[in-house]
Amino acid sequence: MTASREISPQASQRPATTPSNGLADTEIHGTTVIAVKYKDGVINVGDRRATGGMAIMYDKAEKVLSLDDYTLMAISGSFSKAMEIVRYLRHAFRYYERSQLQQMSLDGKLSELSKVIAGNAMAAMQGLGVVIPVLSTFDREKNEGRIFFYDGGGARFETVDYGAAGSGSTQIRGAFDYITKTRGPFAEMDRDTALKEALTLLEIAADLDAATGGAGKVLPLAKTISAEGIEDVDTETLSRLVREIVGKEPLLVRTNQGF
């Protein structure tokens, strides 16, 4: 099923209750993640903030994780459940390859993720363990990057140009369309151009969503997937692009408080 330039549904995040003995049992959530195509593949970026209720639990969370040499999963929602899903999928893909002496097909990988999400539907409906992933891959048969997103019941959709998930994705929904209509499709951009646009969108999400961390303290995470496989974007490139985006001093606005 193909959806034209759609953003994945927002990850439902029930505020975790804080037990009387502290934050030890508070469920940790991660937001926001973005995947955009570029001319050689797909770029995944994610902020590093993990939250538990109204508390910032961790500011170096890894939200873009490899499942195999050509598949990335960007995660939002329950961090512990997402890690459980990632571990299972890595094992399932590896076991299939070793037992069948061939790699699992793309449709098989997508179906495995659908089954895991569908199996978690009852917990998700109760607001526990909700995970909304964005899966990116490089299709070597078609020689192109592809992006898929899921709803809470496991239904999958393929996006033409971009995908996003997490509490900050709703606030930036219209910005994706603005970029593609004024600057052209992400899929026609070179890596650094598409990466800068994705980082700009992530920074906007951080400005509008308290659960999304900005780049002022910790650099976002960015990975690419192409015909050469998965690569981390180097820190120097990330730092340079972030400085270009947020390097200007904020404008001091004078307000008239008189009547």
Residue 163 tokens read as 């995908």
Three-class DSSP labels, 155-189:
CEEEECCEEEECCCCCCCHHHHHHHHHHHCCHHHC
Half-sphere exposure of 165 (CA within 13 A, CB side): 31
Amino acid in position 128: L
Quote the CA–CA distance of 169 and 69 in Å, as a whole number: 27
159 as an active site residue: the answer is no
Between helix 79-100 and helix 106-119 the angle, nearest 10°, is 140
- 196 backbone dihedrals φ, ψ, rounded to 5°: -65, -40
By DSSP bridging, strand 162-165 and strand 29-30 are: unpaired
Q: Which of 17, 18, 31, 170 is catalytic?
A: 31
Task: Provide the annotated active-site residues.
Answer: 31
